[in-house]
Amino acid sequence: MRSIIASTDRSETSIRLKNRSQGIKALTELSLSLAAYGMVGWIYVAICGLVAPDTLHLPLTHLLPHLREDTSGVISFIVSFIGFLVYRIVRDNLYDLRPRSLQ
């Protein structure tokens, strides 16, 4: 069963979403990107750990010899977690559809 939403409620919601700053929208997209790419990096290191565990102590690249594979996996996981956490917080605040009188 569908509920009927008055047209005034819909227009108020769309006006509030349009009035959000570009910075908040950019923060939402950036945090989601960090979460996705951080998780991909962590999955890469996890697969390397399963396939060739003796390589985890080696440098990730010759450009950064002090950054090892296992350290980059931890950093990727932290970046992914924080990115997703920020994304959820900002997204929940961005799309909070309760009427302003109830907030």
2-38 pLDDT tens trace? 555 555 555 555 555 566 677 888 898 999 999 999 9
Band of residue 100 on the pLDDT scale cut at 50, 70, 90: low
Supply the DSSP symbol for 99: -
pLDDT of residue 101 exceeding 60, the answer is no
34-55 pLDDT tens trace? 999 999 999 999 999 999 999 8
Which pair of tokens denotes residue 13? 């919601």
C-beta contacts of 81-90 below 8 A and 24+ residues apart: 81/35, 81/38, 82/34, 83/31, 83/32, 83/33, 83/34, 83/35, 83/36, 83/38, 84/31, 84/32, 84/35, 86/27, 86/31, 87/28, 87/31, 87/32, 87/35, 90/24, 90/27, 90/28, 90/31
Residue 15 in domain? no
Domain count, the chain: 1
Residue 34 in domain? yes
Return the closest-CA partner of residue 69 out of 97, 90, 46, 103: 46
Residue 6 in domain? no
Residue 58 in domain? yes
Residue 68 in domain? yes
Residue 9 in domain? no
Give the range of the structural domain holding residue 27, as residue numbers without chain letter.
22-102
Return the closest-CA partner of residue 41 out of 8, 4, 7, 67: 67
Residue 77 in domain? yes
